[in-house]
Chains A and B, each alone.
Chain A
Amino acid sequence: QKEVEQDPGPLSVPEGAIVSLNCTYSNSAFQYFMWYRQYSRKGPELLMYTYSSGNKEDGRFTAQVDKSSKYISLFIRDSQPSDSATYLCAMSEEYGNKLVFGAGTILRVKS
């Protein structure tokens, strides 16, 4: 069993839809939670990070962390075709350095 589980999709939605992406994890020592976006043949790009539990909003993106359930989510409002990419969740232990990634969810937004 992997430390971080993420449904690989693909997830296909119409333009303008609200997208929900999720990860579960098993390591209770994780304190930092990140979402990265990766376009084909590019490196991952940091979208958002959250420390410990709670919500964080940035434009059309909202990240949620529920440490009691070991569950994190990323919501994308008013999705655009340009949002089509692979979304990776990543986590690290406090004062640790390495990131542990999920497998990534492929998102396709149809115009």
Chain B
Amino acid sequence: GAGVSQSPRYKVAKRGQDVALRCDPISGHVSLFWYQQALGQGPEFLTYFQNEAQLDKSGLPSDRFFAERPEGSVSTLKIQRTQQEDSAVYLCASSLGEWESSYEQYFGPGTRLTVT
């Protein structure tokens, strides 16, 4: 079956531009997560949705980062006025249920963002 898909796979933005990254989770998955992975590091949590509700956004590094999941399926991570330090791979993950089953997160291939 189809896994988590992300688009675009690669994005080059000039400093100051806005970008939008898309995530299509596995069909029927309630929970959706965004992570940021810098080169040579493990993923770091950004934000979490349960259906359309954003339950945790404690990892968003600044108010330039915004995520939404308006219909409880597809999610978009938007970064305004991109800075060089935003260069990273942005990973989306989804999981089937809530709470106890949420540890089984399935990851997409990521979007590699390069800010020049």
Q: Dominant SS at the B interface?
A: mixed
A103 an interface residue at 8 Å Cβ cutoff? yes
Minimum Cβ distance to chain B for residue A50 (Å): 10
Q: How many residues of B contact A (CB 8 A)?
A: 29
Find out whether the CB atom of A102 lies under 8 angstroms from the CB atom of B42. Answer: yes
Q: Mark A88-104, 1 if CB is under 8 A from B, else 0.
A: 10101001011111111
Find out whether the CB atom of B45 lies under 8 angstroms from the CB atom of A44. Answer: no
Contacts of A42 in B (CB 8 A): 109-110
Q: Chain A: interface residue count, which band?
A: 20 to 34
Indicate which residue in A32, A43, A95 contacts B108 across the interface (CB closer than 8 Å): A43
A6 an interface residue at 8 Å Cβ cutoff? yes
| Residues of chain A having any CB pair with chain B under 8 Å | 4, 6, 8, 32, 34, 36, 41-46, 49, 88, 90, 92, 95, 97-104
